[in-house]
Structures are given as structure tokens and as C-alpha cells.
Structure 1
Amino acid sequence: MKLRNKYLALGIVPFMLAACGGDDSSETTTDASVDNNDATEISGELQIGYSAQPDTMDPHMSPTTATRDVSRNVFETLVAVNADYEVSPMLAESFEESEDGKTITFQLREGVLFHNGEEMTAEDVKASMEKWTEYSSIGRSNLADAEFIIEDDYTFVIELPERNSVILHVLAEIGQFAAIMPKEVVDEAGPTGANDIIGTGPFEFVEWATDQHIHLTRFDDYVARDEPSSGLVGEKNPQYEDLYFNFVSDASTRVSGLQTGEYDVIMAVPYDNIDLMNSNPSIETMITPSAVEVAVFNELEGVFEDPLMREAVNVGINNEAS
């Protein structure tokens, strides 16, 4: 991703932050721990002017964009979507569906660490999935009758009562997502969510100053995947030491803060300001998609009660078209 001194983003921020290059004006250090082979330049701070304050940092508890954008830097999922919207392993090393579609077996990556220094195992995954299924509407509607099974420390199995053709995409949900957290955090969580914000992501939680900012810092022991970054999967090399999500509800204040250098990135800019931003050579504008559009058949009444009609529509769709 090509960057200039300052830049403007419209849309989802998390993995731009985890993968983008540094601001030339920032103090840098060299840290080989971010990459297994090559030293990586680490900039100091990234100041983000963000339009809203999350209602929680626990992604199991909220479908809001603000919770998603901040917590995606802290938490990860078993699977996620790549740049082609294909479901790919993330915390899982691999996954396999049975021939009847009722059993999904996940081989977990070994050596993945939580921010508390403990290794992630199937026990943590099971507890996290049970909590997500209880509080997330998409999890509950798809997995309420599922059975979660631990075969060994690194093998986790989901048994479904019947085939679910979208279950892997449900597990890769990008909104109220199935974040994996330590079992002890799940056990101590109350009805309002986790008391401790601990994940496996490239950044760890430091501070939430109410109505001011959320501060995240680079997780030095982050265990990245080896594959090139693609969408929400693959290698993530944090190139900032600290992230500050500053809560600035007024759009004009965010724009002004970007122009004066108070913020390095701002979100949710009015389209009326885009020409102004594009006229400034030190600002890069990015318009990114914020959702995946889906079509759902009404199977209860109407023409699509007939499964042959649903099959006919699917046959008529060119799934290879971009």
C-alpha cells in the first residue's frame, strides 16, 4: 500500500493499520521480531480520528462498526475471508468439512500466543465459540444446536445437526465476529461482555479513556501466518508501535485535524470534502467497501418455496464474474 505523509481512509480500518508502511516524519526503530527473516521499520504512533466510540471492546457482544474496527486489531478468528471473499484459515492451520457437511474439523496453529502470554488451545476455542453463539444473533441462528468438541489440544470440531451451506462464511463473519479469547476470560465474563480484552491479534489493548480515545500497542510476541496478506488473512506485520483511536464525532473537526496534522488517518469523511482532500498532495484518499452484500430467498412463501426455483436462480448466476 503506497502511503504519503498523511492519509485519509473511508471504510474499514483494522488491517490497513496492521499492514501499512510508516510515516516518514515519525521516529523509527528496527525490530526483527515482526518478520521472521527481515528487519522491519517500526514507526511510533498512528493517530486516528474516528467518528464514534464503541459500545464495547468485546466483539461477541456488539454488531457495531466501531466495535469491529477497533477490536479487529486485538482479536482474531478461526477463519476469515481473503481478498477474493473466500474463506481461508486464520487461527486454524487448516479445516475440513465431512462429505455430508455436518462435521467441520479445525486443526489449530500451534504456538499462537494470547496477549497474556498463554498459548491458544482448543479449550479456548470451544469456550469462545460457546460465548459467541450465546450472544451473537448470527452465531445463535446458525449454531444453537451444534456441538463443539475438543479432540485434542489442537483439534476442534463442530458437529451440526444438518448441512449448512453458509456455515464457514458465518464463522468468517466480519461484523459481530467469532473472536477467540482465553477460556479464563470467557469464564469470568458477565452479561455485558469480557472484563479483560485479551486476544491473539497484532495489537493489544492498553487503555480506554472514555469519550477521548482507545490506545492499542503492538504485541511483540505476535505469531503471524506465513502466507502473504490477503483480505483479512495471511501475514500481518504491525508497523506502528501504538495506535490511538481518537473519538471525534464531528466530521469537520476530523477533516481539520487531518489537515493540521493532529490525525494521521480519519474515517467517515463527507463526500463533499473529497475534492478538497484530493487537491492536497500530502493526503491520500481511500474508498473501501464496508459490507458484503447477500441475497436470501424467502423459503416460507412465494415462488421460492419451491427448491427447484432456488436451484434455478443459482444455476443462472455466474459465480466467476468479478
Structure 2
Amino acid sequence: KRWTRAEIEQLPIPQLCKWLEALGTAYNGAVSRENAVMLLWQKIQQERPPALQAITSPEHLHHWPTPEMLRWLEYFGAADEHVASKEALVQLLVDHGEDLPAPTFLGESAEDAFITQVTQHITLVKNAASTLLAHLSKETAQAEVEARERAKHAWHRNGRALEPFAASALNEAYGASQGGSSYLDVGAGEGLDITVHEASGWAWCIREAAAGGQEGWAPAASVVEVATVLQDSGEDGEDTLALKAGAEVDVLVRHYSGWSMCRAQGAAEAAEGWVADSSLSDHPRNEATKKHRLVLNGLQRLADDCAACEGAFYQLRTQGPEATGTTLE
């Protein structure tokens, strides 16, 4: 086929570069490496693809081959005239003469095009979720500060000890630990005000005034949140619990979907299942930000899932379905 200038000019910059690479023609003079480095670094900071986690400064990109940078800019949808002169690329192809080999290698396969499209959508969703997560986290933190400043809630039983925990030995051994506070003795079945669960595996608990009113850390595995059923919760299902109003349950997980995994107390067998969170009591301190916290959990889960999808699609693109055991189907 004889390619005219007008036909060549219809091709996007990434395809022009790939064509020149196939012809063995250098095109560095048509590309601004400085702009390419700057733009690629911006995209890495914004999108944070798992494959480029090792790139922590723009200096890491200075030694990258130009074709590699352009391929990543194409992946981000940013390989445009900010980084390369389309006119200069077209001229390089025209200089080869009219009898150019047909660029059968140009463009992505249907599979690659699909992966690119889906990945771009996933990235948009992830960025939106991350932005909302940041804004809502600030609002929630502010609301909690304002709630604490208005008034402190009285002791409220929202938990119980599953097993005894003797803190005296730890207090003697470590003194004021866990952030400058002591550990707390609790007895099996004792009612507690559980204020926070730490990822470290400890829970900050307050004993009832009649039991001394002490505060301190207890193992999170030794305590459990409890709630009162506010209204009948329907019928038993494969994954749900039927509970009567007034019953007390152990709350194992308050899920962002609005359902809580609960364990019935006093049953012959420890029945577990999902119960609508709206049917359960909660600590008064949580009421102001309860919906915020549920949405925060959901946004965090969504952002994490999107990041995992990005990594999976990148692996599929670069290593192929055989290496990853994944197919587009």
C-alpha cells in the first residue's frame, strides 16, 4: 500500500512511534524527554500503578528508554503532543518514501484494547473512591471531635469479656505501656464499655463504676461487642438469624453494607448469621458518625479492590493469560 501524508497524519502519536520502531528509524529528536519524564511522573503519582511502586522520584525515569516511557504514557492515555511532535514523526515516515510496509502491527489487539478500557474505568472509580474517602475521613474526624467536646457519654455497656484476663503481671513487667496506659483486669462475662479496637490486637475498655470504673487495655480476642435487638429480625435463612426484640447478641462484625454478623447468646448451639444493623443497638458515641463509618469502610474496600484489579490487569497484559492463569472470560 502507498501511504499518503494525509493517511499517516490520521494515526495517533503512539502508533506513529511504533511504526518508526518497526522500520528501525530513530525518533528521539521528535520527542521531548523532559516533558515525557515530567508527565509520566505526574501520572505515576496520581494513578500509583502497582507495577511502578519502585519509582519514587522523577530521577528514576531519566535513564528509561524513550519507547518505554511512551508506552507507559500511552497506557495512561497521555502520549500526546505535549511529549512528541506529531508533525516531525509524520515527516520521518514520509521521508521513507511512498512504498511503506503496511503497519499490520499497529494498534492494540482486541484483548489489549479491552484491558486498557477496563483499566481506565477502574482507575477512575478508584480515584473517585479515594477522594471521597479522604474528604469523608476529615468530616468524620471533625464530627467526632465536636461530639467529644459537647459532652462525654456516661458508661455504656456495649461489650463483655469472653474469658478472664489478669493484667497484673503485664503491668508489673511493662509498667505504663500501650501508649502510656495500663492493662486492665477483666473477669469472664463481665460487662464492659469497649471504646476502641486497635489493629495491634488490643481493645480499650472501661469497667462499670460498681466494679471500680478502671480503664485499660485488654486483648481484643478476649472481649466482644454486644448489642440488643431493637425489633424482630425476621426468619432464619441460610446466612441470616431470626431474633426477637430484646434479645442480646454478640456482634462479630459491623459490615459497611448495613448488615452485622452476630452470634446468638444462650442458644444450645452458637448460631451465627447476618442481622440488619438498623435492628441492633449501638453505643451512643457512635450514633453521630455511624453512617459515616459504614460508608468509610465501603469506600476503603472499593479502593482496595480497584487497586487489586489494576494489578491483575497489568499482570495479564504483560505476562499473558498463560503465566497468570487468568483469561478475559
TM-score range, shorter chain: under 0.3
Structure number with higher strand proportion: 1
TM-score when normalising by structure 1: 0.21
Structure number with higher helix proportion: 2
Q: Which has the higher contact order (CA 8 A, sep 6+)?
A: 1
